[in-house]
Every structure is written in structure tokens, then in C-alpha cells.
Amino acid sequence: MWTGTWGRCGLPLVRRRRRRRRWQRAVRQYEDALREKARRMRGVQPAPASRPLPDTAALAAARDRIALTEPQLPIWMGDRIRAVDERVRMAYDLDLATVWPSSG
């Protein structure tokens, strides 16, 4: 049940969830900070001396506390499990469902 979409019952829950909007906002903040940091470190965008570089590690941690990948399932636990598969697929081009040994 954790990784299921729950059919028509689950769709309103996914749409209603603020978790996806919070995650998307956290991703935007993180990516904006990364761009600003890169521009400032390259000297493309000078900044006032009193303003420190953005703390991208803290922004990434805040994003990951919401979800490791974009929330798409009705409950956070399902998204947490789904994130493992998605991140392994992105990093190693490996489908866990295909290579994971089945019991039986």
C-alpha cells in the first residue's frame, strides 16, 4: 500500500498534498542558491562584502527533509521508498525491480 497510487482514491490526496508544493519551492530555492553561488565564485555577480555565500548544503538538507525526489504518492513513506528506486536508476541506470532477488 505504501508504494501504490490508490487509484481514484489516491489522486485527490496527491493533488491536495502541500508536500509537493513545499518540495518544489525548496528545489527552486536550492537551485537559485547554487546559481548565485557559482556566479559569485566565478566573479560574474559581485555581491556586497557583508553578504555571505548561500548555504547550499542547508538548503539541500531542507529539501531532502520534505522528500528525496518529487512527491507523487499519497503518503510520504511511499515516496521515500520510491525515491530509492529513482535515485539508483538516475545514478547507475539500474532498475531495482529487475535485479532485486524475489522471495519465493
Residue 2, domain member (yes or no):
no
pLDDT tens digits, one per residue of 1-34 = 555 556 666 666 655 567 888 999 999 999 999 9
Task: Look at residue 56 and give its three-state secondary structure.
Answer: helix
**Count of the separate structural domains present in the chain:** 1
Residue 104, domain member (yes or no):
no
What is the distance between the terminal CA atoms of the chain, rounded to a whole angstrom?
Answer: 20
Cell numbers that stand for 35 in this block: 546559481
Domain extent, residue 62, equals 7-99
Residue 64, domain member (yes or no):
yes
pTM of this prediction? Answer: 0.69
Cell numbers that stand for 97 in this block: 525491480
Contact 53, 40 (CB under 8 A): yes
pLDDT mean over 61-82: 85
Residue 70, domain member (yes or no):
yes
Residue 1, domain member (yes or no):
no
Residues 6+ apart with CB under 8 A from 28: none
pLDDT tens digits, one per residue of 45-71 = 776 666 888 999 999 999 999 888 888
